[in-house]
């Protein structure tokens, strides 16, 4: 999943001289998932990360097991998200700042897909330093 998304975004990342790295922490268990839907989640997270990261930045894709969950994260060193907005960005139509992507539906859709897999999704961000989106999917 992560290696394929890395390939899909190699060109747009290179276009902004953004370093795109994937780190897998073995052993990773197999999970039951709708791969096309998880591709859609990762596509949205990567599109957002590239849009909100400056030229020459870095985006890291990471997967590890934590108890009965697999944690997949997309972390950038871009502009970050104001603390007051972090709780709202998963709501439909919420967009923050001026760099609009689509219609503000991407993260709402991501969260819905992850929840349909029995998982949950969240964000850690420090304004001016970067953002990490993660999803915890049940093994």
Q: How many CA atoms lie within 13 A of 2 on its CB side?
A: 20
Q: State the binding string over 89-108 for ligand ADP (x if CB under 6 A, else -).
A: x----xxxx--xxxxxxxxx
d(C-alpha 21, C-alpha 63), whole Å: 12
Helix (H), strand (E) counts: the chain: 4, 5
Q: Do the Cβ atoms of 80 and 127 come closer than 8 Å? A: yes
Give the footprint of ligand ADP on residues 16-55 (CB under 6 A).
44, 48-49, 52
Q: Which does 75 bind (CB under 5 to 8 A by kind): ligand ADP, Mg ion, none?
A: none
Q: In what order do the strands lie in the sheet with 58-66?
A: 19-24, 58-66, 69-76, 130-138, 120-126
Applying CB under 6 A, does 57 fall inside the site for ligand ADP?
no
Nearest residue (CB) to ligand ADP, 19 versus 68: 19
To the nearest whole angstrom, how small is the minimum distance from the Cβ of residue 58 to ligand ADP? 12
Pick from 12, 80, 101, 127 the residue near Mg ion by CB under 5 A: 101
Q: Do the Cβ atoms of 5 and 61 come closer than 8 Å? A: yes
Give the footprint of Mg ion on residues 41-100 (CB under 5 A).
44, 48
d(C-alpha 73, C-alpha 41), whole Å: 11
Pick from 78, 106, 119, 130 the residue near Mg ion by CB under 5 A: 106
The residues that touch ligand ADP, with contacts defined as CB under 6 A, are 44, 48-49, 52, 76, 78-79, 81, 89, 94-97, 100-108, 131
């Amino acid at each position: 999943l992560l290696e394929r998304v890395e390939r899909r975004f190699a060109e747009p990342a290179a276009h902004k001289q953004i370093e795109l790295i994937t780190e897998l922490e073995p052993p990773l268990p197999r999970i039951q998932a709708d791969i096309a839907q998880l591709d859609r989640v990762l596509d949205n997270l990567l599109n957002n990360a590239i849009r909100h990261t400056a030229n020459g930045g870095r985006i890291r894709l990471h997967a590890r097991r934590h108890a009965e969950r697999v944690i997949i994260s997309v972390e950038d060193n871009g502009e970050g998200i104001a603390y007051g907005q972090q709780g709202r960005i998963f709501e439909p139509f919420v967009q923050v700042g001026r760099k609009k992507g689509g219609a503000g539906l991407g993260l709402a859709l991501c969260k819905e897909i992850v929840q349909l897999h029995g998982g949950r999704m969240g964000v850690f961000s420090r304004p001016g330093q970067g953002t990490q989106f993660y999803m915890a999917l049940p093994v």
